[in-house]
Structure 1
Amino acid sequence: MGKPKVSVITATYNDKENLRRIMKQVSLQDYDNIEYIIVDGGSTDGTAEIIQEAEALFGERLKWVSEPDKGIYDAINKGIRMADGEILGCCFDRYAGPDVISKMVAIMEKEGTDGVHGDLYYMEGDKVVRYWHQGQGNIRYGWMPGHPTLYLRKSVYDRYGLYKTDYRISADYEFMIRILKNKRVKLSYLPEVLIYMSHGGTSTNSLGAYLEGMKEGHRALKENGVHFAWFTDLCRTLRVLAQFVQKR
């Protein structure tokens, strides 16, 4: 059997220069069975020309669509539906090296797991402002994988469904609670920094957004039947604070 195909999804909207950087990151990965999917929300800033550059980089390994959507989670869902890969992940930031996907696939295949995750740095320019290092753990005690590092077999989405688009900020958290709460989805942990993530994403770009994210996170716990959700909220907050202390 050959190597499993990995589908890497990037959702974008009127952010052509960042898309160009992300495309380059994906193209530099040394794993030789990558399908790249770009889901554009109908940009008007010249993104179409950037996608033409992606066609030159990826050839037949590229799939893309440009049309209005209902936000980033709706766009990711479109990408998942378009994917032919056995393993799926998203790329919105910078890989820590050219062998990140190779390492992810290798440990999943070795351990026979449903997915993989690892550590990440939150960056402001070249400065590390937060270090996401949680290892393995239990959702109940505030643990969760760093979503930008989470790559899953497509069978997980087939079994548990896609991202809920009625969450504005925390659909990724709700999804991870849904798949991990009963410990039926097994994840490998790669104990190294895999992603350099730009600080200031949807859930961290303001105090208001952070508070809305916490509110949605509490709702996600309740909807998924996690008892004493307030306790998990507290544990999760303490873990986040610890990440700022841990930064290197």
Structure 2
Amino acid sequence: MKRIDINNYAPLITIITSTFNAEKDLEQCIKSVISQSYTNIEYIIIDGGSTDGTLEIVKKYEKFITTNLSEKDNGIYDAWNKGVKLANGDWIAFLGADDIYMHDAIEKYVQELSKLDYHSLDMISSKVRLVDDKGTELRIIGKEWVWNKFRRFMCTAHVGSFHSKSFFKKYGLYNIDYKIVGDYEILLRAKHLLKAAYFDEITVNMKVGGISNLNNAAIKEAYKAKKRNNSVNNVLVLKYDFFKANVIFFLRKVLNRI
């Protein structure tokens, strides 16, 4: 794709979308990538062996897709790992098949990076708008990465984050033992050494289910990830975090039923 010069910095951006029977939403996702105002983009789609119309949609837009692969996998983090191995970009982002970038999202990322010491950064994140099936806003997520907060709760929005390619060389790929919070676990590995930037813009509409993207299975996996990476040493603190997350999950469930 054509290179656009923004403040003399125009990196190749790799966007990875994993799919599995995603025909309902995939076309809008793809359109949001290929219509970006910034166009130095490599787009990779990793499919898990879809049996619906997903692959027909991919074929429809294949001239805009740099690489596409369809084969059985071991879940979303396995698919993302395949995408990372194929990526050539300076920065790598992951967009869900039912998520949509704002039209100028990538340009805003690059503009922000151009103002920073981007060579030393591992990640840059933004805000994300959570929406329901009808596109109605539920809430805004995504805060600045601060280790003392992140070590206990996922405060950044993964779909609103760009990772430098060197990040994966330093900290490895996603752990496919996790099915829900692998994006949290990989950042826990870096601990306080993670070099992260943040900008206060909504870059993505992320579709979520009926109540929220927080559920009991995710809470248990996050607890396991924190223990595994020794992000919180005090057992009482770990148990308090686990209890607090369950309370929040319960309250959101109740509120969404009102």
TM-score of Structure 1 vs Structure 2, range by shorter chain:
0.7 to 0.9
What residue is the counterpart of 1:167 in the other structure?
Answer: 178
1:33 partnered with 2:40: yes
1:31: how far off?
A: 1.1
Q: Which residue of structure 2 lines up, in the alignment, with residue 115 of structure 1? A: 123
> What is the CA-CA distance between 1:105 and the residue it aligns to?
2.0
Indicate if the aligned counterparts of 2:123 and 2:195 stay in contact, CA closer than 8 A: yes
Q: Does 1:210 align with 2:234?
A: no
For 2:161 and 2:48, the matched residues in 1 are separated by 23
Equivalent residue number for residue 4 of structure 2 = none
Query: What's 2:29 paired with?
Result: 22
- Paired with 1:241 and 1:30, the residues of 2 have a C-alpha distance of 41
CA offset at residue 232 of structure 1? 4.4
Give a deviation string over 1:2-38, Cα, whole Å, max 9, x none: 6110000000011123221111010111112100000
Is the contact made by 2:215 and 2:249 (CA closer than 8 Å) also made in structure 1? no
CA distance in 2, matches of 1:117, 1:239: 24
Contact kept in structure 2, 1:116 and 1:188, CA below 8 Å: yes
Letter in 2 for 1:94: I
Is residue 75 of structure 1 aligned with residue 75 of structure 2? no
C-alpha change, 1:42 and 1:143, in structure 2 (3 Å) is closer
TM-score normalized by the length of structure 2: 0.82
Cα deviation code 1:118-164 (max 9, x no counterpart): 11121112322222142342323535311110111010011101111
- The whole-number CA distance in structure 2 between the counterparts of 1:153 and 1:135 is 17
Aligned equivalents of 1:13, 1:175: Cα separation in 2: 23
Partners in 1 of 2:189 and 2:249 — Cα distance? Answer: 20
Match of 1:196 in 2: 205
Question: CA RMSD of the aligned region, Å?
Answer: 2.7
SS of alignment partner, residue 140 of structure 2: strand
Tell me, in whole angstroms, the C-alpha distance in 2 between the residues paired with 1:147 and 1:239: 20
- Any stretches of 5+ residues in structure 1 without a counterpart? none
Find the counterpart in structure 2 of residue 4 from structure 1.
Answer: 11
Q: Unpaired runs of 5+ in structure 2?
A: 1-7
Report how far residue 82 of structure 1 moved: 0.7
Which residue does 2:5 correspond to in 1? Answer: none
1:26-76: per-residue Cα shift (whole Å, max 9, x none)?
Answer: 0111112100000011112132221122223x1xx5101011111111111
* Count of residues in correspondence between the two structures: 235
Q: Secondary structure at 1:74's aligned position in 2?
A: helix
Alpha carbons of 1:185 and 1:239: their partners in 2 closer, same or farther (altered >3 Å)? farther
Deviates most, 192-201 or 150-159: 192-201
Kindly, what percent of the aligned residue pairs are identical? 33
Go from structure 1 to structure 2 and tell me whether the alpha carbon gap of 1:163 and 1:133 turns closer, same or farther (over 3 Å shift): closer
Question: Structure 1 residue aligned with 2:230, among 225, 228, 243?
Answer: 225
Residue pair 1:88, 1:151 contacting (<8 A) in 2 also: yes
Measure the CA separation in 1 of the matches of 2:70 and 2:181: 24
User: TM-score normalised to the size of structure 1?
Assistant: 0.85
Partner Cα separation in structure 2 for residue 75 and residue 219 of structure 1: 22
